[in-house]
Amino acid sequence: MRWLYLLCFTLSGWSAFSQSFDSTRLLSEVIVKSYAANKSVTLVPASIAVVDSIQLQRFNNQSLVSAFNTIAGVRMEERSPGSYRIAIRGSSLRAPFGIRNVKFYWNGLPLTDGGGNTYLNLLDNASIKKIEILKGPSGSLYGAGTGGVILLNGWSGKENQVSIRSTSGSYGLFNLQAVAQGSIDKTKVAFTYAHQQSEGYRQNSSINRNAFSLQLQHAIGDHGVLSSSLFYTDLFYQTPGGLTQVQFEANPAQARANAASNKAAVYNKTFFGGLSYDHQWNDQWSIQIGAYRSFTDFVNPTFLNYEIRKEENAGGRVETHYSFSTGSIKGKLTFGGEAQFFHSPIRNYDNVQGNSGNLQAEDEIDSRLLIGFSQVEIELPKNYSITVGSSYSFIDYKFNRLSIQPNIQQQRGFNPAFSPRLAILKKWNRHLSAYGSVSKGFSPPTAAEVRPSTNNFNDSLQAETGLNYEVGAKGSSGRFSYEVALYYFALDQTIVVQRLNNADYFINSGSTDQKGAEVTLAWTPFSNRQSLIRSMKWWSGFTWNEYRFRRYNKNGVDFSGKQLTGVPPTIFTGGVDLGLGKSFTFHGTLHYTDRIPLNDSNANYASDYLLLGTKLDYSTSIAGKQRINIWVGADNLLDQNYSLGNDLNAAGNRFFNAAAKRNYFVGLSFSL
């Protein structure tokens, strides 16, 4: 039956919803800043997806999961409400929790900390206006990370607007979002507040989050803009823990034994502040320079211990751009650097019924990350363009164990990494381009990998490196848009997670071969016509992953040739967006994920699953100014029993983190 659903959506047309801002905008009109391009996405020789606030509101607005999972090559997981992982082309293998191997930026400044981790759950959808997702190694301009880069941008205050959105739903869901933005003389202001709470589908899986953000922009003269970006989030969520297959099938809503008595949860209070300045010196030269600080209080009672840690981050980034023209050749030179500094005192105690007991370990870990980068783009005759870029990255860790006298001090440095990228693009016409690229990626272990939950400092872990070869085509024709990407990524010193006595540790598994294809297509047969169905759009995306361990021998057992752990071979997503009459909009979404290998030996798999979601929105205005939206929707209409975030290589075969069964939501928004 599930293949019948897939066939119906496939025959209707393929696309990624994220590739256009509305049902009529062409792919060639989507402008991106990725790779310092500031041009149409069809003219950038890379696979890039774009998501904006309108697309985020297409779904239940409690998280980014549904919107991200419409994008071919991207898989966002939710182990429990508030606990996220993101895989771009299979990069979640290293992440038992949190987000690793994907670099995030918030308004042009690093959100990924100096230890390599990203707390994406600190940001509510309300604070985000636009997202650009770069797939594959992007180290030539953004430094370490073989998975990809995600650029997040908040509201700019360009429009004078106040809006309030509220959503309620199954399992005690309540979400309140407020956005206020406007401009006064040369200053633009945008403020957001969001509150979210839920009891969760599973036992011990509630969440409570309050998030504030403030964006300011002030024009200085005719050529400069000073911007500041602030946010503060107070986040609490419970962690129910993984289940065995027998437990998962018997009662997926249960938590792991002792989750409640151990009060397993995460408490995260984080402040982020950034300041940046953009200046256009003349028609040729411009500069962007910024700096940031962040502070995190993190408390995590777990099944293994009770962890308390502080995190302090500081850093900055500078980009200089020079545009040139010689005869029929035009070009742009970009060069600059980035620096990040990370300091984290960590204390681990026994967990005594959710309270801290005897001290297990007290450590300090520091990291220093330095990146220098340059890139040149040259537009050649006959609509060819070439991009050549490279970066030079340096990172080291310092470890100090304070709970032992005399203190144990260790240091782990990595050889400076050179990450080049070469890309060529041919523009065939206004709406079609084809490209090919070769790029090298570099991804050192994160702080959570060199000092994992075993509480030992791993000074033997090596950095991942790999070469990515990619060809693709993207464009549009009439009301049809498309993008196809084929790639082969050869990764060496692949880092994988292992577990011993419920604790995580990491090893280098040798090498992997990662072959993939991503197809996204869209068809908008008509829009804005005067009829019962005023607009229509069919969209879908297909991902194929042929990922294998090329060389992996562990403790005398050869896993070479096995499927890469945690990566489904195929993923399909599709849907339809209908404008009905003058006031109604219907959204239907279908998502299929193939079965997933759960351990390196491929002895256990998570079953495939098919999800169906809908949303019906009613919109009206009062006196032509105030706008009111009311919506109802449902997720997992087929009532599938599935795990949206598996614990890979789990101790005791506790692989499964059950997602919610069939659930419903209603909402109301008001804007003026």
What local confidence, expressed as pLDDT, does residue 469 receive? 97
Helices (H) and strands (E) in the chain, counts: 6, 38
What local confidence, expressed as pLDDT, does residue 552 receive? 86
What local confidence, expressed as pLDDT, does residue 17 receive? 30
DSSP SS3 for 342: strand
**DSSP structure class, residue 229:** E
Most confident of 59-63, 251-255, 412-416: 251-255
Could you identify the residue written with the tokens 């996204």? 520
Count structural domains, the chain. 1
Distances (CA, A) of 491 to 488, 510, 621: 10, 9, 54
Distances (CA, A) of 231 to 84, 313, 350: 19, 14, 33
What local confidence, expressed as pLDDT, does residue 445 receive? 86
Write the CB contacts of 253 (distance below 8 Å, at least 6 apart in sequence): 201, 202, 203, 658
Alpha carbons 501 and 453: distance in angstroms, whole number: 10
What local confidence, expressed as pLDDT, does residue 499 receive? 72
Strand partners, 547: 514
Mean pLDDT throughout 504-526? 89
Q: Would you say residue 29 has pLDDT above 80?
A: no
Mean pLDDT throughout 566-570? 95
Q: Would you say residue 468 has pLDDT above 90?
A: yes
CA max distance for the chain: 80
Q: In this predicted model, what pLDDT tens digit does every residue of 533-546 receive, in sequence order?
A: 999 999 999 999 99
Q: Would you say residue 191 has pLDDT above 90?
A: yes
What local confidence, expressed as pLDDT, does residue 16 receive? 32
What local confidence, expressed as pLDDT, does residue 539 receive? 93
Q: In this predicted model, what pLDDT tens digit does every residue of 590-624 receive, in sequence order?
A: 999 999 999 999 999 999 999 999 999 999 988 77
Output the DSSP codes for 464-517. EEEEEEEEEEEEEETTEEEEEEEEEEEEES-EEEEEETTEEEEEE--EEEEEEE
Q: Would you say residue 178 has pLDDT above 80?
A: yes
Q: What is the pLDDT confidence band of residue 94, given thresholds at 50, 70 and 90?
A: confident
> Is residue 23 a contact partner of residue 55, using CB atoms and an 8 Å limit?
no
DSSP SS3 for 151: strand
What local confidence, expressed as pLDDT, does residue 458 receive? 82
What local confidence, expressed as pLDDT, does residue 28 receive? 57
| % the chain with pLDDT above 90 | 67
Domain range spanning residue 553?
2-671
Q: In this predicted model, what pLDDT tens digit does every residue of 225-281 receive, in sequence order?
A: 999 999 999 999 999 999 999 999 999 999 999 999 999 999 999 999 999 999 999
Q: In this predicted model, what pLDDT tens digit does every residue of 46-60 receive, in sequence order?
A: 999 999 888 888 888
Lowest-pLDDT range of 240-249, 450-459, 507-516, 542-551: 450-459
| CATH number, domain with residue 623 | 2.40.170.20
Torsion of CA 312, 341, 466, 320, to 10 degrees: 120
> Is residue 291 a contact partner of residue 340, using CB atoms and an 8 Å limit?
no
Q: Would you say residue 7 has pLDDT above 70?
A: no
Encode burial over 533-568: b for 16+ CB neighbours within 10 A, e otherwise.
ebbbbbbbbbbbbebbbbebeeeeeebeebbbbbbb
**DSSP structure class, residue 461:** P
Q: How many CA atoms are closer than 13 Å to the CA of 612, on its beta-carbon side?
A: 11
Write the CB contacts of 654 (distance below 8 Å, at least 6 apart in sequence): 241, 242, 243, 244, 256, 647
Q: What is the pLDDT confidence band of residue 290, given thresholds at 50, 70 and 90?
A: very high
Alpha carbons 610 and 591: distance in angstroms, whole number: 6
Q: What is the mean pLDDT of the chain?
A: 89
What local confidence, expressed as pLDDT, does residue 25 receive? 52
Contacts 24+ apart (CB under 8 A), 20-26: 20/481, 20/522, 21/50, 21/52, 21/54, 21/55, 22/54, 23/524, 23/527, 23/535, 23/536, 23/537, 23/577, 23/579, 24/479, 24/524, 24/527, 24/528, 24/535, 26/431, 26/476, 26/481
Write the CB contacts of 324 (distance below 8 Å, at least 6 apart in sequence): 284, 330, 331, 332, 333
